[in-house]
Amino acid sequence: MASETVVLKVAMSCGGCSGAVKRVLTKMEGVESFDIDMEQQKVTVKGNVKPEDVFQTVSKTGKKTAFWEAEEATPAAGAAAPEAAPAAPAPEAAPAADAAPAPEVTPANTTA
């Protein structure tokens, strides 16, 4: 297996969190080196490892874990959803206009 670099986004709020990640990576077979960046919530692992294995091992710490690339791709997926959303409000606007005359009649009858 060729040497590989795996970058993960791991939710770490304290030294204990990063310590847990450090412990599991130190014990993981094939890991040559790793870097834990608390400020960026970033863990970089180098070695003869499979990305999915590193992900599973770090996930066992109980910390929210994701591949770094997946986090960067999320806004692009989110941008597609708002484009579809404007189509839904247009049909809602027509029934609201139809419903408006009914409330006008009721208050007029109550006022008179």
3-class DSSP state of 42: strand
DSSP label of 63: S
Give the model confidence (pLDDT) of 28-38 as tens digits: 999 999 999 99
> Over 80: is that where the pLDDT of 15 sits?
yes
As a whole number of angstroms, the distance between CA 6 and CA 82 comes to: 32
Q: Where in the sequence of the chain do the CATH 3.30.70.100 domains occur? A: 4-75
Query: For domain 4-75, is the CATH number 3.30.930.10?
Result: no
Work out the pLDDT band at 104, boundaries 50, 70, 90.
Answer: low
Give the pLDDT confidence score for residue 110 in this predicted structure: 55
Angle, CA of 95, 82 and 76, to the nearest 5°: 165
35, 43 contact by CB (below 8 A): yes
- The predicted structure's pLDDT at residue 3: 86
Arithmetic mean of pLDDT over the chain: 75
Of 65 and 87, the structure prediction assigns the larger pLDDT to 65
d(CA 52, CA 62): 16
Considering the entire predicted model, what is its pTM?
Answer: 0.59
Amino acid at 59: S
- How many other CB atoms are found less than 10 A from the CB of residue 20? 18
Provide the pLDDT for residue 69: 74
Structure tokens at 76: 């692009």
